[in-house]
Amino acid sequence: MTPPLRFALFGNPVAQSLSPLMHKAAFAAMGLTADYEAIRAGDATEVIRLFRERDLAGASVTIPFKASVLPLLDEVDEEASRIGAVNTIVRRGNRLAGYNTDAFGLAFDLELWCGIRGRRFAILGAGGAARAAVHALLKAGGMPTVYNRTAAKAETLAGNLGCAWAPLTALGAAEADVLINTTPIGMFPKTGETPVEKALLSRFTFVMDTIYNPIRTRLLAEAAAAGCRTRTGAGMFVGQGAGQIRLWMDREPPLAVMRRTVLEKLGGNDAED
Ligand code: NAP
């Protein structure tokens, strides 16, 4: 009998992640004998050491190692290099290759929801998720402007990837169809917080939160009350996981199973998205 393929999630913390639940459900639906465990690592060097020690076939990488693991890999996909973050590792023989499926996950979900080409996007935040978002939007013909608390970081991101930027204080004058929150403000356990004053929300037709825990953040609740169409981060999360399965196995992932597993766990439903 062939031994099961082994996969893992590396992050710190990892206990809250839904990746093990989602990937195990996907593997079972695909009829695969494969393990997926969550591993809390101390630093990026430990991520690589544990990957090799455990003889993994692939891994997911989350906060805070998405940028720091990149220079330690044997090869990095061009898109991940441009974004400056890796969320997926694939073993090819003895070499470890890095990819970024966050950009794919976001684009996949936005195309299903509101479309990208020709739309103007206001991106809140300038971290790894914002970089993935801007890359994905530019690639698909969208027009993003980055707004961030630390203006210098927004300026650097915009310069590197080739988009517009503005200080966070200018969000009230934003002319965009879609607002996307890529900051962690409002994420569990600080669910009472929101990154945007509610009076500003009605200027956007669409409001998306990349946060998926809680499934409905305060931002989305206030946006819906202001008449905006809203989208949770669950679809992006499922999309990035689906991208990982394609890279690891070169097979089509069971999207419906993955989505149902995540929404059931978070107490959400399809009607909300
Ligand atoms: P990150 O690199 O740490 O960036 C966080 C950004 O948020 C920074 O630009 C930071 O601004 C801003 N920020 C943080 N706290 C703030 C505050 N109190 N006020 C104003 N701005 C604040 O994190 P990341 O990797 O981009 O991840 C961010 C979030 O994206 C995660 O929490 C997660 O919910 C979401 N995400 C979702 C998915 C998905 O599949 N749905 C995938 C990836 C990420 P400064 O530059 O001023 O510090």
What is the percent of the chain where pLDDT is above 90?
95
Task: Provide the residue ranges of all domains of the chain, joining segments of one domain with +.
Answer: 5-101+235-266, 103-231
Q: What is the pLDDT of residues 9-59, one digit of tens each?
A: 999 999 989 999 999 999 999 999 999 999 999 999 999 999 999 999 999
Q: Which atom of ligand 1 is nearest to the CA of 184?
A: 32
Substitution site in 63, 83, 149 for ligand 1 pocket (most atoms within 8 Å of beta carbon):
149
Instruction: Domain 5-101+235-266: give its CATH code.
Output: 3.40.50.10860
Q: What is the pLDDT of residues 167-219, one digit of tens each?
A: 999 999 999 999 999 999 999 999 999 999 999 999 999 999 999 999 999 99
Is position 66 annotated as part of the catalytic site? yes
pTM for the whole structure: 0.96
Long-range residue pairs from 217-226, CB within 8 A, at least 24 positions apart, any chain: 217/181, 217/186, 217/187, 217/191, 218/186, 218/191, 218/192, 218/193, 218/194, 219/181, 219/185, 219/186, 219/194, 219/195, 222/194, 222/196, 222/198, 223/179, 225/198, 226/198, 226/201, 226/202
Residue from 66, 139, 153, 198 carrying the catalytic annotation: 66
Q: Do 5-101+235-266 and 103-231 agree at the fold level? A: yes
CATH topology of domain 103-231: Rossmann fold (3.40.50)
Within 6 Å (CB) of ligand 1, which residues are found? 63, 102, 105, 125-130, 148-150, 153, 182-185, 187, 210-212, 233, 236-237, 240
Q: What is the pLDDT of residues 125-160, one digit of tens each?
A: 999 999 999 999 999 999 999 999 999 999 999 999
